[in-house]
Amino acid sequence: MNSKLTAGPCKRSIWVGLLFALGLTMDVCLAGTGASEPSSPRWGPFLRRPTAGQKAPDPDGFIQQWLILEPIPANGLTDSAVQAAVKKEYFPGQFTMVPRDGQKVTVNNAELTWHAVETNDYNVNLYYFAYGLGRPTSNVLFWAFTIINCPSEMQGVRLAIGSNAASVWWVNDKEVIGIYGDRQTVIDDGVSRRLTLKKGANIIRSAIVNGGGATDFCARFLDKDDKPLRTFTVSLGEVSQP
């Protein structure tokens, strides 16, 4: 399996901090000239609003489009703590709904929103997702959702994931893999048993729990020969424009 690590979080944080500072300076200049400010969240160089329609995975098979719910408070990264956190019902339809971009749910009397995102890289940077929305980044749980569309039934495939920190994953409403503890994102760090993806739409759900600091995840499918699966497309439904 490929053991590529994510870019060093300290180095990446420095560069992104500089980019955010530059972005703030540009906003001040725009305000001074009467130009309008962008209304989309500040996600830095890592995330953007996805385009409509269906998208193929990247050349290495990584899924780049997701719906992500704003973070929910959660504590603990052990197997038992994470399982308890992800099995708790925070909102109705948590394990059955097909969320929409901009849809809102209520958790502990707080209104949280689902956001459609597309990553420029193989991984989804949840730290800057939350930071850009003014949400907490530590001791939180993120729900992630996507749909992959297969042209035919695909047998013997495996879901391969990495996350910072712990995460639990479901395919077509069945739990298939979980990784635990305070860990860095490593490609194919966790690999499910052999699965069958059905022809048409297949639903992928994930819960990522972060203790503190950087947080992100990556996911792809491996074929029966453990090579990246690329013969599917990703769709998030209708994506609203900022």
180 & 100 share domain: yes
Between the two ends of the chain, the Cα-to-Cα distance in Å is: 39
Assess if residue 1 is contained within a domain: no
Q: Kindly tell me the number of DSSP H helices and DSSP E strands found in the chain.
A: 3, 15
Same domain, yes or no, for 81 and 179?
yes
Q: Give domain status of residue 201, yes or no.
A: yes
Q: How many domains does the chain have?
A: 2
Ordered DSSP codes for 142-184: EEEEEEEEESS-EEEEEEEEEEESEEEEEETTEEEEEE-SS--
The torsion of the CA quartet 129, 130, 131, 133, rounded to 10 degrees, works out to: 90
Looking at the fold, whether 23 and 132 belong to one and the same domain comes out as: no
Contact residues for 228 (Cβ-Cβ < 8 A; gap 6+): 57, 60, 61, 62, 220, 221, 222
Same domain, 101 and 31: no
Residue 136, judged by CB atoms within 10 A of its CB (0-12, 13-18, 19+), counts as middle
Q: 122 and 152 share a domain?
A: yes
What is the pLDDT, as a whole number, of residue 55?
92
Please state the pTM of the whole predicted model. Answer: 0.83
The reply to whether 183 and 148 lie within a common domain is: yes
Same domain membership, residue 31 and residue 49: no
Same domain, 96 and 23: no
Q: Tell me what pLDDT residue 213 has.
A: 94
Q: Residue 231: its pLDDT value, please? A: 96
Question: What is the model's pLDDT at position 146?
Answer: 97
Q: What is the pLDDT of residue 43?
A: 87
Query: Within this chain, do residues 27 and 69 fall inside the same structural domain, yes or no?
Result: no
* 57 and 27 together in one domain: no
pLDDT by 10s per residue, the chain, length 242 = 444 444 443 334 334 343 433 333 333 232 332 333 334 677 888 899 997 678 999 999 999 999 999 999 999 999 999 999 999 999 999 999 999 999 999 999 999 999 999 999 999 999 999 999 999 999 999 999 999 999 999 999 999 999 999 999 999 999 999 999 999 999 999 999 999 999 999 999 999 999 999 999 999 999 999 999 999 999 997 655 54
- The number of residues in the chain equals 242
